[in-house]
């Protein structure tokens, strides 16, 4: 087997961030602590990406050994970052799910002011799509149903937060149990 081949991994997404039309960070989540460990390195990376992409007409870019898919809307830029070996279609599915979920949640008004007014829901959407770099969901309808977020309702009550945390813990428990079973069966082979 080729030693240069990269082992497949569930940890597909390295980072997700949303910038405004001036390149300022509105939201960012980095899932690989070794990638850009300091805030300064993260902001420098985001600035480099923004400078390369804000006037471009593409949907994909490569920078600093990373594959970046992006989309713009009015005064926002959405980015999903993966490793150089990552499948661009997978990253694009995450980006489209993020954008469509936010579009539904914000009632098709995906702009900076509305996004900032509903930031709690934005974080819930990101957390439903990606957990620790692992893609959990790529269907915007499923994400919106799980988040159960309405822009004009009271979005976060103690009960809804507790329910969300309970569901995340149950999902994490199921993933860990599945991983244990796979490891057990691979050892027994």
pLDDT for the residue 177: 79
CATH number reported for the structural domain that contains residue 124 in this entry: 3.30.450.60
Contact residues for 164 (Cβ-Cβ < 8 A; gap 6+): 124, 147
CA 141/CA 60 separation, integer angstroms = 25
* 74 and 141, same domain (yes or no): yes
Number of domains in the chain: 2
pLDDT above 90: residue 80:
yes
* 109 and 124, same domain (yes or no): yes
Could you please report the per-residue DSSP string of 1-61? Answer: --TTSPPP-SB-EEEEEEEETTS-EEEEEE--TTTS-SHHHHHHHHHHHHHHHTT---SEE
pLDDT for the residue 145: 86
* 41 and 88, same domain (yes or no): yes
CA 109/CA 132 separation, integer angstroms = 28
* 142 and 179, same domain (yes or no): no
* 73 and 164, same domain (yes or no): no
Whole-prediction pTM value? 0.72
Residue 6 belongs to a domain: no
CA 188/CA 180 separation, integer angstroms = 12
pLDDT for the residue 36: 86
Residue 2 belongs to a domain: no
For residue range 82-138, what is the model confidence (pLDDT) as tens digits? 988 888 888 999 999 999 998 888 888 788 888 888 888 888 899 999 988 888 888
| Domain of residue 108, residue span | 13-152
């Amino acid at each position: 087997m080729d030693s240069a081949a990269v082992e497949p991994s569930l940890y597909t997404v390295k980072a997700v961030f949303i910038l405004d039309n001036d390149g300022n960070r509105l939201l960012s989540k980095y899932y690989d602590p070794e990638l850009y460990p300091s805030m300064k390195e993260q902001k420098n990376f985001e600035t480099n990406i923004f400078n390369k992409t804000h006037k471009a007409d593409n949907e994909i870019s490569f920078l600093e050994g990373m594959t970046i898919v992006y989309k713009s809307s009015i005064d926002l830029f959405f980015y999903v970052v993966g490793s150089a070996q990552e499948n661009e279609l997978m990253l694009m599915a995450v980006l489209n799910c993020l954008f469509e979920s936010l579009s539904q949640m914000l009632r098709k008004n995906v702009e900076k002011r509305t996004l900032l007014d509903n930031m709690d829901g934005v974080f819930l959407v990101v957390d439903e799509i990606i957990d620790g770099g692992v893609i959990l969901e790529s269907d915007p309808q499923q994400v919106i149903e799980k988040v159960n977020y309405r822009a004009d309702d009271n979005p976060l009550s103690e009960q809804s937060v507790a329910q969300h945390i309970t569901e995340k813990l149950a999902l994490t428990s199921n993933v860990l149990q599945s991983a244990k079973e796979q490891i057990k069966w691979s050892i027994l082979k």
